[in-house]
Amino acid sequence: MHYGTIPGVTKPVARLIQGTVMIGSNNLDYSFGLLDDILALGGTTFDAAHVYGNGDNERTFGRWLAARGVREQVVLITKGAHHNQDRRRVTPFDISADLHDSLARLGTDYIDLYLLHRDDPSVPVGPIIEVLNEHLAAGLIHAFGGSNWSHTRIKEANEYAAARGLTPFAVASPHFSLAVQVEEPWENCISLTGEKGAAARHFYADNGMPLLTWSSLAGGFFSGRFRPDNLDTFTEYLDRLCVKSYCYPDNFARLERVKELAEERDATVAQVAMAYVVAQPFNVFPLVGCANGGEYAANAAALDLALTPDEVRWLETGARD
Span 248-291, pLDDT tens digits: 999 999 999 999 999 999 999 999 999 999 999 999 999 998 98
- 105 burial via Cβ count (<10 Å: 0-12, 13-18, 19+): buried
Note whether 296 and 37 are within 8 A (CB).
yes
Instruction: Indicate the pairing of strand 210-213 with strand 144-147.
Output: unpaired
Count of other CB atoms within 10 angstroms of residue 260: 14
On whether the CB atoms of residues 123 and 93 are closer than 8 A, the answer is: no
- Given this model, what pLDDT does residue 303 score? 95
Q: What is the pLDDT of residues 300-312, one digit of tens each?
A: 999 999 999 999 9
- Domains of the chain with CATH codes: 3-317 (3.20.20.100)
Task: Give dist(CA 200, CA 139) in Å, integer.
Answer: 31
pTM for this predicted structure: 0.92
